[in-house]
Structure 1
Amino acid sequence: MPLHWIVDSKERLVITTADGHVTRQDVDDYIRAMNGAGTQPYRKLFDGSRGETDMTPEDMLAIGVQLRERHATGTPGPLAIVIPPDKADLVSRVLGILATADRPMRVFSDVEPARRWIDSLPK
């Protein structure tokens, strides 16, 4: 599976890495797993720097809708997203939807500053 994640309940942190070709089903499975794990209020670091996809804009919008519905069930925790500049247009709709949630969120082009930022926030 091209999405790998670690849920650290003690640190209240989820670290997710995309590595390889990510499909809509992969993302749907990931969202379902995060819902089941109760990670909504956790800090999250999503590293998409090594991921690829051929998802359509409609797929991205559908993912954004799922995430927006998830936000309606509680307050989401802080989010750091690592996206290479060449993929920013592809995920812009999802980023826009994620940005509407009432929580700290930042987009980075490199994982190290993203990690420092998410680690600086309260658990």
Structure 2
Amino acid sequence: MTVVADGEVTYGELVAMVDALHDGNAHGYRKLYDGGRSLMRMTLEEVLMLGVRMRAEHERSPMGPMAAILPEVDGEILARLLGMVALADRPLRIFVKTGPALKWLLALPSAPHSIELVT
């Protein structure tokens, strides 16, 4: 699964993404978050609320590996978000370019209990 964030990213958009992953039973799949051209627009309170929501998801189902391409700005907010995402029992790496992120991610299996269609 690939998520591309371009421009401002808000709390509501990230909640919608987490909800879509939950509703689609997709947490166990490999995920690439490409936010290299994004800018987080959240308050620290919103970051904490998102963290609570993400932790609940981590407890509900196995998490697949995740590669994240992140911008060089938003240090405090990104550090808090990464801390929350890193709590899940899964491989996680941060990248600056898509090629190496995809290569690493595709070399890993998805989480146990996920189903993948290989063509």
Q: Place the TM-score, normalised by the shorter chain, in its bin.
A: 0.7 to 0.9
What are structure 2's unaligned runs of at least 5 residues? 111-119
Task: Give the letter for the 1:64 counterpart.
Answer: G
Percent of residue pairs identical: 36
Question: TM-score, normalized by length of structure 2?
Answer: 0.85
| Residue 57 (structure 2) aligns with | 70
Aligned residue identity for 2:63: P
Q: Secondary structure in 2 aligned to 1:85?
A: coil
Matched AA of 2:33? F
Q: Which runs of 4+ in 1 moved over 4 A?
A: none
SS in structure 2 opposite 1:21?
A: strand
Structure 1 residue 19 displacement after superposition: 1.2
- Between the aligned partners of 1:88 and 1:113, the Cα distance in structure 2 is 22
Please say if 1:104 is aligned against 2:91: yes
- In the TM superposition, what is the alpha-carbon distance from 1:51 to its structure 2 partner? 1.2
Q: Residue 90 of structure 1: CA displacement?
A: 2.1
1:40 aligns to 2:24 (yes or no):
no
Deviation at 1:104, TM superposition (A): 0.7
Question: How much is the aligned-residue C-alpha RMSD, in angstroms?
Answer: 1.3
Does the 8 Å contact 2:39/2:73 carry over to 1? no
When residues 33 and 58 of structure 1 are mapped into structure 2, their CA distance, relative to the original with a 3 A threshold, is same
Gaps of 5+ in 1: 1-13
Shift in Å, 1:55:
0.9
Residues 52 and 85 (structure 1), Cα distance of their counterparts in 2 relative to 1, 3 Å cut? closer
Paired residue for 1:121?
108
